[in-house]
Structure formats: structure tokens, C-alpha cells
């Protein structure tokens, strides 16, 4: 098969690369010992608290890309992952800074590893766990799994069920632990992120707008939304801060000093501000995604990848860590889409989608359980309402109205629609309210 | 960072990564504690440079990568100072079947030849007054630096003070360190008080304070300073209660007169505090510490009330460091000793003595104390 050959070729290439690297290192070292002066250089390790910026070619040719994932699908997957982290963070009552860190390291990670080979949702969970520790608000892995499970059920209109403590839970937990380590390893422990929130406050103070809460909130909204794009891998937090101020002020039609241009005070160029703005605004213009298609795409690629690897393995044993087998109920999408009947479908066959899912035999639900669920389903639904915060009346209302057009989560469409009309400020506010303090 | 700097940065950018630990070759084990193991190792390439590798303990880690290790790494990345141990990189072993596909991480440090506990336990190592001054000056310099970066060490003890063969002192083991913040708008901090090795633990922690700050490290500095002459830890209690008794016997009774506000500490009424004890720091240390300035500085560091205890800045300004003999270089003295001296490798100082008394790792993997889990203690730190 062509793919297999390609894979092999790639492997060889990688080997060659490694060799080259080693050679380079040796060269470096011999240079040093010859020079004798600078004994302190350890290959190319960067230990830094600074934000990592990636060069253009790294941003364009990602590992997922070389596994055959097209740019659009990858972008969508990244956005979805970030949204998961954000939503999970809200439900876990994490400080916003933890969600921000989680999203940035999630983005960074997938510039080093492929979305095809490393399950997006598990990595997102690992990032939440890790970020909660980094930002000194640790959460238990168990809670993270529960919350992800909850989001999944809410977004697919399922009855809210607690996670069952079975073997697949244990497997999943172990995978999350491994995902967390993998992120640390891949990022060389450079997992501390400098966020622009404080910088925005400072800049607005300088600009004399510190009392304008609406502007401040608007800027922060843009800032929090920008985490879904790759601007944090392209620009320094100061630049992102300027862009958010720019966007916020424009939205509220507030003047900023033009001569000399205000951003020059912060040593940021106009072109980079524009670049950030464009990338952030592009988020709102993206069409909604067919999650099913995304899933199919990744599934297919993963299957192909695994086949190729199984064949390549035939004789030689490579040292590559095998990606752990996924638990059965856990599809590439982490079961985000209500497809298979791993969770019993609600008894009210409201939409054709649901009735379809009942026809599939659930992998680990027996009929007795099913019946039981029927009884409680209405109660557990209302429980889901109490779960959502009282601060967010809009969301609850929407959910109650039951107008689920797409299978995509409400969290998602809500954030998307933010700038395309409606009342962006309000939407943003209740989403971001608790972060202000 | 301006555009040019950014361009340069990107040009030289390399995705951060973890190297494999096989690039180093373990030479000897030089430390062991609840935190894990420390090895001396040699770089395999032509540099042949020595490093110290500290294993990140991960067995029993049910919540993934330990937050304490993350803190240590972040703190060490932040702190770059002559008197703070330098973190070179983080390495990992390859994940393979034998370790159930879980790799081990190592923190790799510049190698230091000695630790202070090891040096002090060797009778052949003799410090002159000037050399003691140099040790203390560097120690306080290090503390000044970390405290001004808003970091608490929380495990000051002689074994955590490293000294290179060139006589440069380095504060090490930030496994219990954390960032601290000043109390703002009356909000008090709630840090865990189960930190610092018992013999070096200050009275406020023994009395259950959870809103402490840099003075906890200065108490340890005082204990270490006295140890420079006594050669063994000055207060070797076996229990918290005994430690408090020993402190009272040296520094006088803990009363509201010498320490206003002490009555508000959680354990003030629960611990048995010896009454009527006179403060006799100078008196008891004089037989060892002949220098009057040294005695005076010790007296200022071993003050019960943390708010009156000297901070590192005022300690550095003390006459002790500015009178003859002035602080002098240690390298000449250390050149006479070719063998590394670590507490771990040294013979027990006194038979029957525990070498690692009550090293506190609350919530740590070793033995999560049940009292913490039960009392709804929200400080998950560890």
C-alpha cells in the first residue's frame, strides 16, 4: 500500500534527521571543548518562562497535517478542544487564568504532536488537569472526567448520568495521566504562560480608560476568545493585548490617540496588531462545523495510521510508545456527538437523531438499566439545569426551550454567535463575569 | 520584544523538548529522602560535565504529575542567581514496557561538590571566622534574592545548602517552596504549616500559623548559622511538642509580651508551652560562638516573634559582616578536601540519631496523613 511505503519513508527520514541532530550536537560540543570557554550549552534545550513563539513553517505544516489532516479540520478540532477546556473550566470553577493556560498549552502541544495520533479530548482533559496545577487551583482528575462527561451529555441532549466507575473509567483516567505527562514532555516543561489580561488593564490605565468597565470587559472577551486561535504562538502577549484593546475600542466606538499612534508607546507595530485582529475576527466568521464529518475524517486517518504502523511493525520493534487502546465507548470524538447508544437515549424520541441512536445496541447498557433511566430521566434533566450556573440565565433558558438544531454543543454556538449580531456585550459578560475578580 | 528581537527569536527557535536521560551516566547516589533520589551523573558527550539528577517521584501519584514538582520547576526556571542552584534541564527515561509506558522525569542540576551538613559533620573541615561569614553572607544573599522574587523556600536546613569546590554557596531543594503574596484587603493566606524539617521549624509554624512569610526561612538561617560553630543542629526535637520546648528553653517562654498576637495562633492553647523560661540565646551559644557580633546576629535571627525577626536585608547589614575579619573566600580551605561531602554519604553524626527527622511532606505521596484528609483542609498542597 502506498501509505505504508510513505510511512516507512518518513520514518527513515526521521532517523536521518535524528542522526543529523546528533551530528550537529557533536559538532557543537567539539566546538565548545575546542573553544573551552563556553562549557555551558546543553544542546538546544530552552528552559524559559517566556511564551513560546513558533516560526511560520511550524505553524503551517503541523504534525496533524503530515498525517493527512487538512487545515480546516485541524482548525476546527483545535477550536473545539479549546472550547471544551473553557467550558470544563467554568464547570470546575477554575480561575479564568487556568483555562487560558490550558488552551495555550493545548495549542502548543498539537504543534508537536498529531491530532490523528493523540486523541483530542483526552489531551484536553490532560491540559485542564495540568493547567489547574500550574495556576495553583488543582482539580482532581476524577472531577475533570466527570465534567467532560457532563458536557458531553448536555451537548448531545442526553440524560445526565454520573460516570460509572468501571474498567473504562480506570483506563480513561490512566490515559489522562499519560496525556498530562506527554504534554509536559513534548513542551519540555515550558508550560507557564504569560497572559495579556493584566497587560490589558495596565494599557487601559495608561490610555485613561481604566474606569470604562464595558471596554475592559470587551477587551477581555476578545482576549479570551483569541485563545482559540493561534495568535499566542505568533505574538507576544503585549501584542495580543494591544489588538484586544484595538478591537474593544472599535466595537464600542471609543477613540484612541492616533498621533502619535497609541500602540507605539507599547512598542507594538500596527501590522502585528492587524494580524492578530484578523486572526481573531476570522474565528467569528467561521461556519459552523459538521462534527460528524470531523469525526469521520479523524477516525479514518487514525485507522489508516494504525494499519500502516501495524504493518511496519511486522518484524522490527520500534521504540515508539504505542498509543493506548481507546476504551470502546470513546470514539475519536470522545463521544461528543450523540451517535452510538453508549449512553441510553432519552425515552422521548424527540428528533429522528435520537430514535436512530436507540436502534444501535448500546455496548454496556442492559435493558434493565435502560428502563431505570426512563423513570429518572426527567429528574436528571432538571438536575442538569441546576448544574449550570444561575449567572447564566440565558443558557438555561435556551436549553430548556429545547431548540437543538445542530448536534453541536450550545456552549459552542453561543460563543460563536457572539460577534455576529445579537448583544455581544451581554453574552460576553455573563460568560466572563466571574473572571474579573 | 520588538520586531527585530522577535524575528531573531523565531529564527533561533527550537520547539522545547525533553531529552532522554541516557545522555547522562549515573555515577553515584548522593541523596535520598521522601522527595526521591538524587544521583551524581556525568554527561556522556565530550563535555564530561558532572550534574546532579533528582528523580521526580511518581509512584502512587494518583493525580498525575505532582504539583510540587511543577512548582519546583517553575520556581527554578524563575530563579537565576549565583546562590541558587541552577536547573539545567529536565530529562526523561524512555517509556517502555518495563515501566508500564510511564517514563520517569529527572531534574538536572549543576553539580555541587558538598553540602553544608556533610562539611559540618566532617571534623577535618575547619571554618575560620571569615569563612563562616562568607557562608552566611552567601546564604542570606540567596534568601534575599528568592524572597524579593516572592518565593518561600520552606525547607531551610544544612543539608539543603550546597557548596561548590570553588566555595560558592547554593540554596537547593525547592521541593517545598512556593510563591507567597502579601496579604491584601485583609485577606489572609492559608498555606500549609506542615513544612520545614522539624529541627529547623520556626515557632510560628509549630503553633499552627498558616499566614506566614519569609521569616520562616530566616529562622532556619539562624539555626544553620549556629550550627556553623556547634557542628550539629542546635535543637533536635523528636516531636513538635518537644521542639517547642527546646525553643522555649533557648529563646525564652512564648508569651504575649514578647510576641503580641501569638494567642491567636491555632495551637497556642493546644500546645504545652513552658512558662518562666528566660531568653538565653547569647548565653548558651557563647561557649561555641566567641565573636560577639556573631552572637548578636544569632540573637536577632532566633527571635520568636516573626515580625521582629531580622529579615535578610537587615541581617546582611549587620556589623558581623562588616567588621574584621571580613568574609573571605572558601575555595582555599575546600581545596584541601578532595572528596565530596554530603550528609547522605557521611557516617551518622551521633549513633542512634535519626538522620531524617520528620521530614514533612504533607499530602505527599509517602504518607498522606489522614488528619489532613479528614479535617477538610483545603490546602491541597502539599
Burial of B31 (0-12, 13-18, 19+ CB in 10 A): buried
Distance, CA of A419 to CA of A435 (rounded, Å): 20
B350 with B332, same domain: the answer is yes
* Phi, psi for residue A341 in degrees, rounded to 5: -90, 45
Q: Is B48 annotated as a binding residue?
A: no
CB atoms under 10 Å from CB of B59, counted, come to 9
Start-to-end Cα distance in chain B: 37
Inter-chain CB proximity B64 and A177 less than 8 Å: yes
CB atoms under 10 Å from CB of B360, counted, come to 22
Collapsed DSSP state (helix, strand, coil) of residue B37: strand
ipTM for this model: 0.79
Q: Is residue B53 part of a domain?
A: yes
- Count of CA atoms in the C-beta half-sphere (13 A) of A437: 3
Mean pLDDT in order along chain B per 10 residues (382 residues): 64 68 88 80 85 83 85 89 93 74 85 92 92 96 96 94 94 91 80 90 95 96 96 94 95 94 93 91 91 95 96 96 93 86 70 41 35 32 32
pLDDT of A381 reads 36
B46 with B194, same domain: the answer is no
pLDDT of B2 reads 60
Inter-chain CB proximity A321 and B95 less than 8 Å: yes
Per the model's pLDDT, the better-predicted residue between A87 and A329 turns out to be A87
Choosing from B19, B59, B110, B155, the catalytic residue is B155
Nearby residues of A348 by Cβ (< 8 Å), 6 or more positions away: A354
- Write the residue in A43, A176, A184 that is nearest to B19 by C-beta: A43
Angle value at C-alpha A177, between A171 and A181, nearest 5 degrees: 140
Q: Is residue B382 part of a domain?
A: no
- Write the residue in B2, B9, B16 that is nearest to A187 by C-beta: B16
B155 catalytic? Reply is: yes
A229 with A161, same domain: the answer is no
Q: Is residue A397 part of a domain?
A: no
The percent of chain B in helix, strand and coil, each rounded to the nearest 5, is 35, 15, 55
What is the distance in angstroms between the Cα of B285 and the nearest Cα belonging to chain A?
Answer: 42
Q: Is residue A226 part of a domain?
A: yes
Nearby residues of A221 by Cβ (< 8 Å), 6 or more positions away: A248, A418, A424, A428, A429, A431, A432
Whether A233 contacts A279, CB under 8 Å? no
Whether A192 contacts A134, CB under 8 Å? yes
Residue A190 has pLDDT above 50, yes or no: yes
Phi-psi region of B27 (alpha: psi -120 to 50; beta: other; left: phi over 0): alpha
Q: Is residue A380 part of a domain?
A: no
Q: Is residue A24 part of a domain?
A: no
- Indicate the residue among B86, B110, B134 that finishes a domain: B110
Q: Is residue B307 part of a domain?
A: yes
CATH number at residue A131: 1.10.472.10
Q: Is residue A204 part of a domain?
A: yes
Q: Which residues of A touch B64 (CB under 8 A)?
A: 126, 129-130, 133, 141, 176-177, 180-181
What is the distance in angstroms between the Cα of A44 and the nearest Cα belonging to chain B?
Answer: 7
User: How do strand B87-92 and strand B19-20 relate by DSSP bridges?
Assistant: parallel
Q: Is residue B118 part of a domain?
A: yes
Tally of residues, chain A: 437
Collapsed DSSP state (helix, strand, coil) of residue B313: helix
B105 with B129, same domain: the answer is no
Residue of B291, B280, B212, B296 whose CA lies nearest to B247: B280
Q: Is residue B7 part of a domain?
A: no
CATH number at residue B147: 1.10.510.10
CB atoms under 10 Å from CB of A277, counted, come to 19
Count of structural domains within chain A: 2
Average pLDDT over residues A224-238: 89
B183 with B296, same domain: the answer is yes
Distance, CA of B170 to CA of B85 (rounded, Å): 5
Whole-angstrom CA distances from B51 to A166, A170, A275, B71, B112 are 44, 38, 44, 21, 8
B91 with B122, same domain: the answer is no
User: Any idea which residue has 489522562 for its cell?
Assistant: A176
Distance, CA of A275 to CA of A232 (rounded, Å): 12
| Secondary structure of A24-45 as H, E, C letters | HHHHHHHHHHHHCCCCCCCCCC
> A306-324 pLDDT, tens per residue?
888 888 876 544 444 444 4
What's the domain range around A240?
Answer: 196-284
A107 with A158, same domain: the answer is yes
B289 with B266, same domain: the answer is yes
Residue A113 has pLDDT above 60, yes or no: yes
Residue of A428, A331, A437 whose CA lies nearest to A86: A428
Cell representation of residue B318: 549587620
Average pLDDT over residues A318-345: 39
B341 beta partners: B114
Distance, CA of B1 to CA of B4 (rounded, Å): 8
What is the distance in angstroms between the Cα of A81 and the nearest Cα belonging to chain B?
Answer: 20
Q: Is residue A311 part of a domain?
A: no
Radius of gyration over every alpha carbon of chain A, rounded to an integer in angstroms = 24
- Write the residue in B9, B10, B77 that is nearest to A47 by C-beta: B77
Alpha helices in chain B (DSSP H): 3-11, 67-78, 116-120, 129-148, 203-206, 215-230, 240-251, 281-285, 292-301, 312-316, 331-335, 370-374
pLDDT of A51 reads 63
Distance, CA of B160 to CA of A337 (rounded, Å): 53
Report the sign of the C-alpha dihedral through residues B209, B213, B219, B224, in that order: positive
Cell representation of residue A370: 435502560
User: Any idea which residue has 448520568 for its cell?
Assistant: A161
Inter-chain CB proximity B101 and A55 less than 8 Å: no
B114 beta partners: B163, B341
Q: Is residue A128 part of a domain?
A: yes
Residue of A54, A120, A112 whose CA lies nearest to A85: A120
CATH number at residue B85: 3.30.200.20
User: Any idea which residue has 501495524 for its cell?
Assistant: A310
Nearby residues of A220 by Cβ (< 8 Å), 6 or more positions away: A197, A200, A244, A432, A435, A436
Inter-chain CB proximity A189 and B6 less than 8 Å: no
A239 with A279, same domain: the answer is yes
Average pLDDT, chain A: 69
Residue B318 DSSP label: S
B279 with B309, same domain: the answer is yes
Whether A417 contacts A405, CB under 8 Å? no
What's the domain range around B319?
Answer: 114-374
B146 with B274, same domain: the answer is yes
Residue of B42, B37, B118 whose CA lies nearest to B344: B118
Distance, CA of A388 to CA of A394 (rounded, Å): 10
- Indicate the residue among A263, A284, A305 that finishes a domain: A284
For chain A, the maximum distance between any two Cα atoms, rounded to a whole number of angstroms, is 79
Burial of A45 (0-12, 13-18, 19+ CB in 10 A): buried
pLDDT of B338 reads 79
B82 with B141, same domain: the answer is no
A253 with A280, same domain: the answer is yes
Distance, CA of B315 to CA of B321 (rounded, Å): 9
- Indicate the residue among B71, B89, B110 that finishes a domain: B110
A96 with A183, same domain: the answer is yes
Distance, CA of B153 to CA of A70 (rounded, Å): 49
B86 with B232, same domain: the answer is no
A152 with A239, same domain: the answer is no
Residues 90-129 on A with a CB inside 8 Å of B are 111-112, 126, 129
Radius of gyration over every alpha carbon of chain B, rounded to an integer in angstroms = 22
Q: Is residue B210 part of a domain?
A: yes
Distance, CA of B45 to CA of A29 (rounded, Å): 8
Q: Is residue A262 part of a domain?
A: yes
B123 with B94, same domain: the answer is no
> A392-413 pLDDT, tens per residue?
344 333 333 333 333 333 444 3
Distance, CA of A396 to CA of B279 (rounded, Å): 66
- Indicate the residue among B47, B76, B110 that finishes a domain: B110
Whole-angstrom CA distances from A65 to A70, A72, A185, B146 are 6, 10, 21, 44
- Measured in whole angstroms, the distance separating CA B107 from the mean position of its chain's CA atoms is 17
Average pLDDT over residues A128-135: 94
CB atoms under 10 Å from CB of B275, counted, come to 9
Inter-chain CB proximity B11 and A55 less than 8 Å: yes
Cβ–Cβ contact A43 with B under 8 A:
yes
A200 with A173, same domain: the answer is no
- Indicate the residue among A265, A284, A303 that finishes a domain: A284
Cell representation of residue B211: 499566614
A66 with A177, same domain: the answer is yes
Distance, CA of A171 to CA of A177 (rounded, Å): 10
A70 with A158, same domain: the answer is yes
A86 with A164, same domain: the answer is yes
Cβ–Cβ contact A351 with B under 8 A:
no
Distance, CA of A121 to CA of B375 (rounded, Å): 35
- Write the residue in A33, A49, A58 that is nearest to B46 by C-beta: A33
| Secondary structure of chain A as H, E, C letters | CHHHHHHHHHHHHHHHHHHHHHHHHHHHHHHHHHHCCCCCCCCCCCCCCCCCCCCHHHHHCCHHHHCCCCHHHHHHHHHHHHHHHHHHHHHCCCCHHHHHHHHHHHHHHCCCCCCCCCCHHHHHHHHHHHHHHHCCCCCCHHHHHHHHHHHHHHHCCCCCCCCCCCHHHHHHHHHHHHHHHHHHHHCCCCCCCCCCHHHHHHHHHHCCCCCCHHHHHHHHHHHHHHCCCCHHHHCCHHHHHHHHHHHHHHHCCCCCCCCCCHHHHHCCCHHHHHHHHHHHHHHHHCCCCCHHHHHHHHHHHHHHHHHHHHHHHCCCCCCCCCCCCCCCCCCCCCCCCCCCCCCCCCCCCCCHHHHHHHHCCCCCCCHHHHHHHHHHHHHHHHHHHHHCCCCCHHHHHHHHHCCCCCCCCHHHHHHHHHHCCCCHHHHHHHHHHHHHC
Inter-chain CB proximity A180 and B105 less than 8 Å: no
> A24-75 pLDDT, tens per residue?
443 333 333 333 333 333 334 445 556 667 777 777 778 888 888 888 889 9
B225 with B346, same domain: the answer is yes
Count of structural domains within chain B: 2
Amino acid at each position: 500500500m502506498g501509505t505504508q511505503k510513505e510511512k516507512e519513508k518518513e520514518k527513515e527520514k526521521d532517523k536521518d534527521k535524528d542522526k543529523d541532530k546528533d551530528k550537529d550536537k557533536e559538532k557543537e560540543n567539539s566546538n565548545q571543548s575546542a573553544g573551552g570557554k563556553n562549557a555551558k550549552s546543553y544542546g538546544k534545550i530552552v528552559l524559559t518562562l517566556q511564551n513560546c513563539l513558533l516560526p511560520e513553517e511550524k505553524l503551517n505544516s503541523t504534525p496533524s497535517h503530515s498525517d493527512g489532516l487538512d487545515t480546516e479540520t485541524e482548525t476546527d478540532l483545535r477550536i473545539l478542544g479549546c472550547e471544551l477546556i473553557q467550558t470544563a473550566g467554568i464547570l470546575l470553577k477554575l480561575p479564568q487564568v487556568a483555562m487560558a493556560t490550558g488552551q495555550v498549552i493545548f495549542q502548543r502541544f498539537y504543534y508537536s504532536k498529531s491530532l490523528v495520533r493523540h486523541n483530542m479530548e483526552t489531551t484536553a482533559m490532560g491540559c485542564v488537569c495540568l493547567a489547574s496545577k500550574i495556576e495553583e487551583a488543582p482539580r482532581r482528575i476524577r472531577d475533570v472526567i466527570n465534567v467532560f462527561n457532563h458536557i458531553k451529555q448536555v451537548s448531545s441532549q442526553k440524560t445526565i448520568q454520573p460516570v460509572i466507575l468501571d474498567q473504562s473509567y480506570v483506563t480513561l483516567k490512566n490515559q489522562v495521566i499519560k496525556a498530562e505527562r506527554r504534554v509536559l514532555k513534548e513542551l519540555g516543561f515550558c508550560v507557564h504562560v504569560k497572559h495579556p489580561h493584566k497587560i490589558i488593564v495596565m494599557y487601559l490605565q495608561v490610555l485613561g480608560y481604566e474606569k470604562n468597565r464595558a471596554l475592559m470587559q470587551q477587551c477581555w472577551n476578545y482576549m479570551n476568545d483569541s485563545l482559540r486561535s493561534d495568535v499566542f504562538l505568533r505574538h507576544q502577549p503585549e501584542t495580543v493585548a494591544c489588538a484586544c484593546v484595538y478591537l474593544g475600542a472599535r466595537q464600542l466606538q471609543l477613540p484612541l490617540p492616533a498621533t502619535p499612534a497609541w500602540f507605539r508607546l507599547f512598542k507594538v507595530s500596527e501590522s502585528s496588531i492587524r494580524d492578530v485582529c484578523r486572526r481573531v475576527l476570522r474565528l467569528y466568521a467561521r461556519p459552523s462545523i459538521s462534527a460528524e464529518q470531523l469525526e469521520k475524517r479523524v477516525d479514518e486517518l487514525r485507522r489508516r495510521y494504525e494499519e500502516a504502523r501495524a504493518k511496519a511493525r511486522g518484524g522490527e520493534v520500534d521504540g515508539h510508545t504505542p498509543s493506548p487502546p481507546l476504551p470502546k465507548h470513546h470514539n475519536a470524538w470522545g463521544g461528543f456527538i450523540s451517535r452510538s447508544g453508549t449512553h441510553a437515549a432519552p425515552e422521548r424520541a424527540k428528533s429522528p437523531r435520537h430514535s436512530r441512536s436507540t436502534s444501535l445496541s448500546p455496548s454496556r447498557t442492559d435493558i434493565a438499566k435502560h428502563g431505570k433511566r426512563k423513570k429518572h430521566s426527567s429528574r436528571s434533566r432538571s438536575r442538569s439545569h441546576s448544574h449550570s450556573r444561575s449567572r447564566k440565565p440565558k443558557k438555561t433558558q435556551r436549553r430548556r426551550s429545547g431548540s437543538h438544531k445542530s448536534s453541536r454543543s450550545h456552549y459552542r454556538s453561543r460563543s460563536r454567535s457572539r460577534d455576529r449580531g445579537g448583544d455581544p456585550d451581554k453574552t460576553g459578560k455573563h460568560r466572563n463575569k466571574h473572571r474579573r475578580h | 520584544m520588538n520586531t527585530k528581537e522577535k524575528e531573531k527569536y523565531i529564527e533561533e527557535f527550537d520547539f522545547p523538548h525533553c531529552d532522554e536521560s541516557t545522555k547522562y551516566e549515573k555515577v553515584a547516589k548522593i541523596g535520598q529522602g521522601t522527595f526521591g533520589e538524587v544521583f551524581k551523573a556525568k554527561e556522556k558527550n565530550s563535555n564530561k560535565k558532572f550534574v546532579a539528577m533528582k528523580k521526580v517521584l511518581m509512584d502512587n501519584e494518583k493525580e498525575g504529575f505532582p504539583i510540587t514538582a511543577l512548582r519546583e520547576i517553575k520556581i527554578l526556571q524563575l530563579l537565576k542567581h549565583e546562590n541558587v542552584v541552577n536547573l539545567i534541564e529536565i530529562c526523561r527515561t524512555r517509556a517502555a514496557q518495563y515501566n508500564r509506558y510511564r517514563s520517569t522525569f529527572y531534574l538536572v542540576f549543576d553539580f555541587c561538590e558538598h553540602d553544608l551538613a556533610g562539611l559540618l559533620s566532617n571534623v577535618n573541615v575547619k571554618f575560620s571566622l571569615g569563612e563562616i561569614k562568607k557562608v552566611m553572607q552567601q546564604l542570606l544573599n540567596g534568601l534575599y534574592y528568592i524572597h524579593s522574587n516572592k518565593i518561600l523556600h520552606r525547607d531551610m536546613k544544612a543539608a539543603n545548602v550546597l557548596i561548590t569546590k570553588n566555595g560558592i554557596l547554593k540554596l537547593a531543594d525547592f521541593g517545598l517552596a512556593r510563591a507567597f503574596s502579601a496579604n491584601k484587603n485583609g485577606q489572609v493566606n492559608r498555606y500549609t504549616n506542615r513544612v520545614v524539617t522539624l529541627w529547623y521549624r520556626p515557632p510560628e509554624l509549630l503553633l499552627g500559623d498558616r499566614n506566614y512569610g519569609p521569616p520562616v526561612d530566616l529562622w532556619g538561617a539562624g539555626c544553620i548559622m549556629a550550627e556553623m560553630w556547634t557542628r550539629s543542629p542546635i535543637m533536635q526535637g523528636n516531636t513538635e511538642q518537644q521542639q517547642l520546648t527546646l525553643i522555649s528553653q533557648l529563646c525564652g517562654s512564648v508569651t504575649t509580651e514578647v510576641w503580641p498576637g501569638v494567642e491567636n495562633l491555632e495551637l497556642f492553647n493546644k500546645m504545652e508551652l513552658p512558662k518562666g523560661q528566660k531568653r538565653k540565646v547569647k548565653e548558651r551559644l557563647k561557649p561555641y560562638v566567641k565573636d560577639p557580633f556573631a552572637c548578636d546576629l544569632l540573637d536577632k535571627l532566633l527571635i520568636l516573634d516573626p515580625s521582629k525577626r531580622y529579615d535578610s536585608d537587615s541581617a546582611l547589614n549587620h556589623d558581623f559582616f562588616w567588621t574584621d575579619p571580613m568574609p573571605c573566600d572558601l575555595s582555599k580551605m575546600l581545596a584541601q578536601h578532595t572528596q565530596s561531602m554530603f550528609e547522605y554519604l557521611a557516617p551518622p553524626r551521633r549513633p542512634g540519631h535519626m538522620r531524617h527527622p520528620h521530614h514533612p511532606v504533607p499530602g505527599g505521596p509517602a504518607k498522606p496523613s489522614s488528619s489532613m484528609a479528614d479535617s477538610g483542609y483545603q490546602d491541597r498542597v502539599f
